[in-house]
Amino acid sequence: MAFLLLSISLLIATFAVVRPALIEGPRITLTHFDGKGVLIAVVFVIGATMVLGAGLAAALLLALMVKDLGHVIGRRLAGHADTKLRLLPLPGGPAICDRAPRSDLEAFFILLMGPGLGFAPMATAFANATAFAAHFSTLGAFLLGGWWVHRLLPPGF
């Protein structure tokens, strides 16, 4: 239970740090939400579902979206307000910002924010799964972790 409380504290702290990037400045725009982008996303989801199964494919897609959102938030925290969120969170995709990072340290920060943003929700979902394994299924614990994430997002996001 201590692990669950610590992971929830980490999740709250993470969203407290990234909240200015979500609220201040222009809204985060979604790019590649056209026919071609949606078609590629559908093919990716169907292929991942056939190979991994529905649960793992959904988890993989969610993890890729959170990682891409982490890069977007990292750029916004570094002062790049024109950053866009891609519909297709696949490696080697289009650039999410028109400007390059100003320094190597800024580029390193943006690079680390991708997986760094996903660490707190992952730890909370894992803590929920271990703390409530006798009472809930793993899916129930994952949904409970998703509920916590949803409650911490700013209104209208």
Per-residue CA distances from 62 to 59, 81, 142 (Å) = 5, 24, 12
Tens of pLDDT, residues 10-64: 888 888 888 888 888 787 777 766 777 778 778 888 888 888 788 777 777 788 7
pLDDT at 157: 46
Is residue 88 situated within a structural domain?
Answer: yes
Structurally, how many domains does the chain consist of?
A: 1
Is 148 within the bounds of a domain?
yes
Instruction: Using the predicted structure, report yes or no on whether residue 92 has a pLDDT greater than 60.
Output: no
Does the residue 66 lie in any domain? yes
* Residue 14 forms part of a structural domain: no
In a domain, 127, yes or no: yes
Q: Which domain holds residue 95?
A: 2-8+23-152
> Average pLDDT over the chain, rounded to whole?
76
Q: Does 36 fall in a domain?
A: yes
Domain assignment present for residue 46? The answer is: yes
Within a domain: residue 17?
no
Helix (H, G, I), strand (E, B) or coil at 135: coil
- Can you list the positions of beta strands (E) in the chain? 29-31, 84-86
- State pTM to two decimals: 0.71
Give phi and psi for 30, each to the nearest 5.
-100, 125
User: How does DSSP classify residue 154?
Assistant: P
Strand partners, 84: 29
Check whether 148 has a pLDDT greater than 50: yes
